[in-house]
Amino acid sequence: MDITALLATTPTNLFIDGEFVPSDTNDTFPVINPSDGTRLARVASASEADARRALAAAVRAGTDWANTPSRERSTILHRAFELILDHGEELAWLQSLELGRALPDSRAEVSYGAEFFRWFAEEAVRIRGDYRHNPTGTGRIVVTHQPVGPCLAITPWNFPLAMGTRKLGPALAAGCTMIVKPASKTPLTMLYLAQLLARAGVPRGVVAVLPTKNASNVSALLDDPRLRKLTFTGSTAVGQQLAARAARHSLRVSLELGGNAPYLVCEDADVDQAAQAVAVAKMRGAGQVCIAANRFLVHERIAAEFTAKVSEVLAGFRLGRATDEGVTFGALSGADQVTTVQKLVDDALAQGATVASGGVLPTGLPAGGSYFPATVLTNVPTTADIAHSEIFGPVVAIQTFATEDEGIAMANDTPFGLAAYVFAGDTGRALTIAERIEAGMVAINKGTISDPAAPFGGVKESGVGREGGMEGIGEYLEPKYISLL
């Protein structure tokens, strides 16, 4: 891939009303490559005035887009799906450059992210209504669905493409307009997607992309009554603050917030299978995934065997520059993330945990990169911060339990409930455990869980609402009741 040519053809201005334009203040901010600390580009930084201009365009375009036949909206989404695949290598390289993530993971995200447009292209033509008599026989009830209206999507840095398509797909399918604020660490992928959406036929004003170094410039739209929905993926603290602000105008809200996923390995589990699944459940994106396995809860009788086999799995990963051949996990998103993970590991070690394997950076890594080694910790005490915090790094922190009830209690001992993983030899037992775990999503005997055709979301302090699946489009539709005689 010619990186210079790729960056030269990637927009760096704001996308407002169908055009790429500079900020009204001409302000910019740098995008840094975490693999080596070099600057990739300078991107326009949206002001509050830019955000208001994007919302005005979304309002103007809203009526026509809502009235566009669902088949036409579906066709546009299908075109967008195809364009993403046609430009898959460009999108994969952009993600790896601005995120530091290894190319195999970025290529996987291209396929995953594209699928949300295909899935919701098919859901667009299946929006249903209802007709029925009321129980007293004195009238008829007609229920139809209308688009919520202009939406604001705030997306995180760890999935620069898919976190946008997972929100844009259902919004566009439902007939909503949307303003997207990508993370300041990774804005290039979403700006590249904006030009593909324009080529697919998305009308002017229907989609805006507003990178900014000052998030409050865009979140100021929550105080504008013309905005009708907020969809946010990110930390629990920030999401709850934004939701409280959105409540002032009774906005619809969808939140995908923090996770602390338990990885429960029962005594009768296939230990080889459970260890191999760590390669995806923990190591995808160097562990910087909201549904990444976080707390490895292993039955005490198989803990030593599991630890040894997981150590072998992690030893097979090659750390390095994201775009180098053969690299299977890359840098963390920045020096700040390295610091966060290191503090969690240091605290665990200070409280008695031990390093079972890894923990040392290989030689020859690019200078200036934000790297952290694959690490397996054992004897992690329940008092350690790493047992209660989202790690967002390539660290397997192992705790043990003696009974099934104890393991489930440990799994549920968190205010979060996004994802969970259960490994057990008996399927009925695994299902029973899955039903008892407090999480919005549970994977049984595998390390993958996300699917565009399935509802994605959490319980407790991990969020509100669902993305993907048949449920996803409902987040962007308002049911309207019409009463007839």
Would you please indicate which residues are annotated as catalytic (active-site) residues? 256
- Encoding tokens for residue 3? 């990186």
Query: In whole angstroms, what is the distance from residue 265 CA to residue 422 CA?
Result: 6
Instruction: Name the β-bridge partners of 377.
Output: 355, 397
- Parallel, antiparallel, or unpaired for β 229-233 and 293-299? unpaired
Query: In whole angstroms, what is the distance from residue 115 CA to residue 85 CA?
Result: 10
- Phi, psi angles (nearest 5°) of residue 482: -115, 125
Helix/strand number for the chain, H first, E second? 15, 22
- Cα 105-163-116 angle, rounded to 5 deg: 90
Q: What is the residue-wise DSSP string for 158-218?
A: SSTTHHHHHHHHHHHHHT--EEEE--TTS-HHHHHHHHHHHHHTPPTTTEEE---S-THHH
- Phi, psi angles (nearest 5°) of residue 299: -60, 140
Q: What is the residue-wise DSSP string for 17-67?
A: TTEEE--TT--EEEEE-TTT--EEEEEE---HHHHHHHHHHHHHHHHHHHH
Cβ 240 vs Cβ 246: under 8 Å: no
Burial class (CB in 10 A: 0-12, 13-18, 19+), 128: exposed
Quickly tell me which residue has 């097979």 as its tokens. 316
At 14, is the secondary structure helix, strand, or coil?
strand
Instruction: Name the β-bridge partners of 417.
Output: 459
Query: In whole angstroms, what is the distance from residue 397 CA to residue 411 CA?
Result: 13
Quickly tell me which residue has 């504008």 as its tokens. 224
In sequence order, what are the residues at sequence separation of 6 or more whose Cβ sits closer than 8 angstroms to the Cβ of residue 106? 91, 92, 93, 95, 96, 99, 322
Angle between the N-to-C axes of helices 103-124 and 162-174, in degrees from 0 to 180, rounded to the nearest 10: 10
At 269, is the secondary structure helix, strand, or coil?
coil
Quickly tell me which residue has 């200070």 as its tokens. 350
